[in-house]
Amino acid sequence: MSRFTIPVCHVDDIDHESSKGFEIGDLNFFAVKRDGIITLFQNNCPHLGVNLEFQQDQFLDADNFYIMCSTHGALFQPEDGKCVYGPCQGQSLISVDFEVIEQQIHIAEAATAIA
Ligand code: FES
């Protein structure tokens, strides 16, 4: 049986070239869909540990190309979370593993309880 038992949302609930935030248990995270590929990351800037979004569900820059931290403008690659510009350049967002089961994104229960 899969360890990914916690449903998050349908893959179509995330618009193309867009992002969406979630809170499940202790896990504050967001999903990005760019070029049809979905990635999930913890909502935690490696610079100061703050939430990234400018406003609800707005994790991307004005071009919807990079993930952007609204505090100091760090830019992160949506494909792997690596910071390519800003005070935490070279560091990365923490990815959240997931599995798509019947078009629903699922995360592991263990991910929702941060030690
Ligand atoms: S807190 Fe994110 S770039 Fe400074």
| Residue of 41, 48, 67 to test ligand 1 pocket, by largest number of atoms within 8 Å of CB | 48
Q: Ligand 1 pocket, 89 CB below 6 A? A: no
Cα 81 to ligand 1 centre (Å): 14
Q: Are 75 and 91 in contact (CB under 8 A)?
A: no
Q: Which residue has the tokens 């049986």?
A: 1
Q: Ligand 1 pocket, 48 CB below 6 A? A: yes
Enter the pTM of the model: 0.96
Q: From CA 55, how far away is CA 39, in angstroms rounded? A: 19
Domains of the chain: 4-113 (2.102.10.10)
Q: From CA 67, how far away is CA 52, in angstroms rounded? A: 8
The one-digit pLDDT tens for each residue of the chain (115 residues) are 789 999 999 999 999 999 999 999 999 999 999 999 999 999 999 999 999 999 999 999 999 999 999 999 999 999 999 999 999 999 999 999 999 999 999 999 988 886 5
